[in-house]
Amino acid sequence: MTGGLHDAKRPVSALAGPYGHPFHPMLVAVPIGTWVASMVFDLASRFAPDPGFLAEGSKWLIAIGVLGALAAAMAGFLDLFAIPAGTPVFRTGLLHMGLNLVITTAYAAGFLWRQAGTAAGTAAGAVALGPLLLSAGSLALLAVSGYLGGKLAYRYGVRVADEATQADGFRR
């Protein structure tokens, strides 16, 4: 195994998770899950007879997702440090990180937008079209970023145990 590939499989810090079991993929479940659920709540608020609780729930799901994204970003940043600079995998990692920063910023702005509407004393109704479209666009970008994250792990093997270690699971 080449030096760069070997290095990309090893954690740079215990905070990134142990060898072959990185924390970043575990942590991304929080923002992905909460942001998908917030979109479901947003859409449901457009059809429910009393949509206020759905709009409020969506807003707080977005906030939880932003906090989860910050935690996932810390672990992901540590994983990025293990990748040799100037390689296609490093460029993919930078694009993945950049998209996630844009997405997290958009969701944070969406939360503030919704919070400002609540503070202004507007009636608790369906989610307005603007915040809904911002969330939909952010979710679409999240799918692209998730594809890139999958490419990092499954195509390039970043932080995935080497084949010799994987083979232990197939021995009888």
| Residue 42 within any structural domain of the chain | yes
| Residue 165 within any structural domain of the chain | no
Domain that holds residue 139: 3-159
Number of domains comprising the chain: 1
| Residue 169 within any structural domain of the chain | no
End-to-end CA distance of the chain: 25
| Residue 168 within any structural domain of the chain | no
- Whole-prediction pTM: 0.89
* pLDDT tier, 119 (very low <50, low <70, confident <90, very high otherwise): low
Class of residue 159 by CB neighbours under 10 A (exposed 0-12, middle 13-18, buried 19+): buried
pLDDT digits (tens, 9 = 90+) for 35-55: 999 999 999 999 999 999 999
| Residue 166 within any structural domain of the chain | no
| Residue 167 within any structural domain of the chain | no
| Residue 170 within any structural domain of the chain | no
| Residue 88 within any structural domain of the chain | yes
